[in-house]
Structure 1
Amino acid sequence: MMVVMQHSNYLNDINVGATAVDAFFVLSSFLLTMLLLKKCVKMVSESAGYGKWVSVMVDYFMKRFFRVYPFFALVALLLWWMPFEDKNRFYWIESADKYDLYKVLTFDYDHRYLMLWTLPLEITYYLYIPLLVLAVLALRQFWWIAALILQMWIVNDSLYTYKTHHMLLRPHISTFLQGSLAAVVFVKFDAWRRASAFEFSRCSAVALRTVECSMLVVLISECTRAVFYKWIHEPFVVAPPGDPFISVWLAYIIVIEMILPSPTSAALEWNVLRYWGKVSFSLYLLHPFVIYSERIQNLNNFYDRLFAKVVLLLSLTSAS
């Protein structure tokens, strides 16, 4: 929805689209790493054979590919079938002879139009997640040393590496890695808590919630370049070049909410938000066909345009 807002020229002064993309990178890498790590930990405890390991890894790769690529290919075919005027209107393709279907489907760098640039990054990084999980398992009780070093590198890279839209994986790798690292921290802490029967005391719960609220304030401030930075203190660190630096704050807010849920996570579990989350990939790829529609843009009244977009987007993404 935030990408839709960006392309609809709402809140463009704070680039909500970049924030949304980074948030998705963190969330997806967190979820996939967490699920795969839990499966692998279980297989280690069961002394599973090579056949089981191969089966799990093949299942992982197939699900990652078929979860996103077929619909992407369908959109690419739809664009190929459209006349040039529609290609240009909906996906900003500059010339009639520039759209090469084969290069689009094979993720050629010069053919990643509009939002299509994120999918190659996601699929490429998802291929590395099993290696990260296996490395964590191989380190055993020393995993935290590697995690600490990786966390320091992520912060440094995020602050001093220029990243923005339509780039290769390298500038965005720290964002993906932060989500995976947070998942490792959560899985390890959760396993220790279950084994030790640890329960948060009132004081420790208040301390953890204070840390979370502080992170939330800094996250909002970084996204808007305001709030804390204007009301209380200037940023403590240099503003990163390119898109805002939100991955660390977002990742550990997720970890804290998983460990000790609060009204924040309850609010985000609202059925309306959960439904939009279920259709988010369709919404991401299909929204240009609605918001850049000539008929929608020709509506004079702001609220006519707003409700027309919401109704059409909901209908289109639900049908897909």
Structure 2
Amino acid sequence: MEKVNEPKNDSEISIEMEEIDNIDIKSETDEDDDLNIEIPRPVLKKTFWQKMTSSFKTIQEETKSKIPLLFESKKLEETQLEKISTKETSEFKRFNFLDGFRGILAIVVLISHAKTNEKCELITFFHKIAHTGGVYGFFVLSAFLLTYKLLNEMNSKSNFKAKIWSIFKYFIRRFFRIYIVFFIIVTGIKFGPKILGGLFNYDETKFNYASWSNLLLLKNPGVNHLWTIAPEIKYYFFIPLFCLIANTMGKYDMILLIVSILLSIFNEVFNFFGLKSLDFYAHMTEYLYIRFSIFFYGSIAGLFLVIIERHEKITNFLKTFLVQFFLNFITVILAVYGFKHINPVMVLEGSNASRIWASFILLAALGNENLIVVRFFSNKFLTNCGKYSFGIYLLHPIFVQIALQYFHFELQFDSVVIIFLMTYFASFIFYYLLESNCIKLANMLIKGIEKWSRKDLPTS
């Protein structure tokens, strides 16, 4: 007869539960390292997710070496671009007053060409300083800014190919910013309505334009306001060479600075090129060597500023109150003297004026925003004149002729005001229709080349 299991009493059930609890289930549990307590089966779900998370992290670490983290690299690139943009913005704000200085120079040239009689002493004075207080200031300022910017960009690159690419970008920007605009203006003057040549097309006894090919090939331009373009564009080719030498010399570029200053001084004393006063007139304007020293002082100032900014102790010293007080005083004197300075000896006129302007620009750049000259030239009106200065320079002869032909003013001052207002308005349109688009085309071309050959163009 089969034995039937009798029901267990409470003591037997308790013994069996203790036996179950003593079963080794370590293989199915995890340990808490801090408390050293075995975790029973119900917590196994959490352990599973911990294992999954750990596995995912392992896979991610293994994948990093094979697949680039695109989002992280993109974020890093954006951060770098933001730093570059911030640096460029700060430099723009720092040199913003130089736009105002450029604006004054453009106004001086405009007034000098608008003069028709001796009735107004102020206008007669502007006419006398058209070169020293106008054109030569343009030459020095252009050389300073281009040298300073290119040298800083090259110094920020450790790769030689990247430095060469900086030079190529420099040439692309100069070509579109200056030569393309110049090409359009010259073509309009030679093949468009006569008025596009301005007063230089109407008084052939004094003025004339050379042939279209001569103008574009930067040969003798004739007797007109375009004579400044040829030597300036030719000097553009010297700036990269100067910057490359300075960059190659590294921390020894101070030697280049000293040698450059000494050569400039000796050139004034010994006249290396054998220049004569007659060489500075219309038939020789296209030759760079005649006015090379004028541009070169601007490049010397640019190199000097780069060297100073490299030494933190010097820059901190220059920020002190006494130094800034001195800079405030001396820059005002240089500005006044620069505009009033007239040297009857043509050979020395340019070098003297350029030395004054180079010193003024360098010292003003070392000052802070509280300098009198910085505040004066930061005036919105003057900075706008500087922004549109290329248009003012190229277009003002048109409106001088219009004023002479269609207006009859008792006072010459009234005529100059009307000419300036018409020129300013036209230059505003000229800038946004032509100049700004040429700048955009240059930047688009640079970006296109960089995108097309990104692997071959180092960025550092």
Change (3 A) 1:79 1:206: closer
**Partner residue in 1 for 2:137:** 23
- Displacement of 1:65 in angstroms is 1.1
1:184 to 277, 284, 303: 303
User: How far apart are the structure 1 equivalents of 2:386 and 2:247?
Assistant: 31
User: How far apart are the structure 2 equivalents of 1:263 and 1:196?
Assistant: 20
1:139 to 249, 254, 257: 249
Change (3 A) 1:90 1:196: closer
Partner-residue secondary structure (3-state), 1:266: helix
Structure 1 residue 2 corresponds to structure 2 residue 108: yes
Unpaired segments ≥5 residues, structure 2:
1-106, 116-122, 431-460
- Displacement of 1:147 in angstroms is 1.6
1:48 to 159, 177, 183: 159
1:246 to 353, 356, 368: 353
User: How far apart are the structure 1 equivalents of 2:198 and 2:383?
Assistant: 32
Change (3 A) 1:81 1:307: same
Post-superposition CA distance 1:190-233 (Å, at most 9, x none): 1213797545444444444454455345434424x6xxxxxxxx
1:221-260 to 2 correspondence within 5 Å?
221-223=340-342, 241=347, 243=349, 245-260=352-367
**Root-mean-square deviation over aligned CA pairs:** 3.0
Post-superposition CA distance 1:86-118 (Å, at most 9, x none): 7584346749x9752222221222x34411111
Structure 1 residue 286 corresponds to structure 2 residue 395: yes
User: How far apart are the structure 1 equivalents of 2:311 and 2:225?
Assistant: 40
Structure 1 residue 75 corresponds to structure 2 residue 181: no
User: How far apart are the structure 1 equivalents of 2:196 and 2:333?
Assistant: 46
Counterpart code for 2:358: A
Partner-residue secondary structure (3-state), 1:241: helix
Change (3 A) 1:138 1:249: same
The alignment's TM-score, normalised by the length of structure 2, stands at 0.59
For the 8 Å contact 1:219–1:250, the answer to whether it is kept is yes
**Partner residue in 2 for 1:233:** none
**Partner residue in 1 for 2:377:** 268
1:61-100 to 2 correspondence within 5 Å?
61-82=171-192, 87=197, 89-91=199-201, 94=204, 99-100=210-211
- Displacement of 1:153 in angstroms is 2.4
- Displacement of 1:288 in angstroms is 0.6
Change (3 A) 1:294 1:208: closer
User: How far apart are the structure 1 equivalents of 2:317 and 2:143?
Assistant: 27
Change (3 A) 1:86 1:205: closer
User: How far apart are the structure 2 equivalents of 1:27 and 1:319?
Assistant: 24
- Displacement of 1:285 in angstroms is 0.9
Question: Sequence identity of aligned pairs in percent?
Answer: 21
**Partner residue in 2 for 1:32:** 146
For the 8 Å contact 1:25–1:176, the answer to whether it is kept is yes
1:138-177 to 2 correspondence within 5 Å?
138-158=248-268, 161=275, 162=277, 164=280, 166=282, 167=285, 168-177=287-296
Post-superposition CA distance 1:152-187 (Å, at most 9, x none): 322343565546354221111011110011011011
Moved more, 204-213 or 123-132: 204-213
The alignment's TM-score, normalised by the length of structure 1, stands at 0.82
Post-superposition CA distance 1:122-175 (Å, at most 9, x none): 111111111101111222333223322321322343565546354221111011
Moved more, 275-284 or 240-249: 240-249
Moved more, 148-157 or 282-291: 148-157
User: How far apart are the structure 2 equivalents of 1:277 and 1:175?
Assistant: 20
Structure 1 residue 277 corresponds to structure 2 residue 393: no
User: How far apart are the structure 2 equivalents of 1:91 and 1:152?
Assistant: 43
For the 8 Å contact 1:65–1:123, the answer to whether it is kept is no
- How many matched pairs? 301
Change (3 A) 1:295 1:198: closer
User: How far apart are the structure 1 equivalents of 2:185 and 2:363?
Assistant: 37
Moved more, 100-109 or 56-65: 100-109
**Partner residue in 2 for 1:103:** 214
Counterpart code for 1:6: S
